[in-house]
Amino acid sequence: MWRWAGNEPPQLHLLMQSHILLLTLFAFFVSLVFAVIAKDSVPEQLRFGGLLFGGFLLSAFVLGWLMYPFPL
């Protein structure tokens, strides 16, 4: 999951190798902010945030799967 960059000391440079973790963190925080802004009650916020989070992850995986055959 983590890889050291070059010969630097470990605490200076860490490179992320898992894009899925970054995607999940981004989807979580964006969903959290959108849910808090859009809905008033906590149960509505939880439901809306969960739907957004799932939608973000599902759409990212579907788009990644559809783009897989195309070369860069």
Q: Is residue 26 part of a domain?
A: yes
Q: Is residue 39 part of a domain?
A: yes
Into how many domains does the chain fold?
1
Q: Is residue 1 part of a domain?
A: no
Residue 18: the pLDDT is 80
Is the per-residue pLDDT at 45 higher than 80?
yes
Q: Is residue 2 part of a domain?
A: no
Q: Is residue 62 part of a domain?
A: yes
Q: Is residue 29 part of a domain?
A: yes
* Predicted confidence band of residue 19 (pLDDT cuts 50, 70, 90): confident
Q: Is residue 9 part of a domain?
A: no
Q: From the CB of residue 39, how many other CB atoms can be counted at a distance below 10 Å? A: 15
Euclidean distance between CA atoms 36 and 44, whole angstroms: 9
At 54-65, the pLDDT tens digits run 999 999 999 999
Domain of residue 41 covers 18-67
pTM for the full predicted model: 0.72
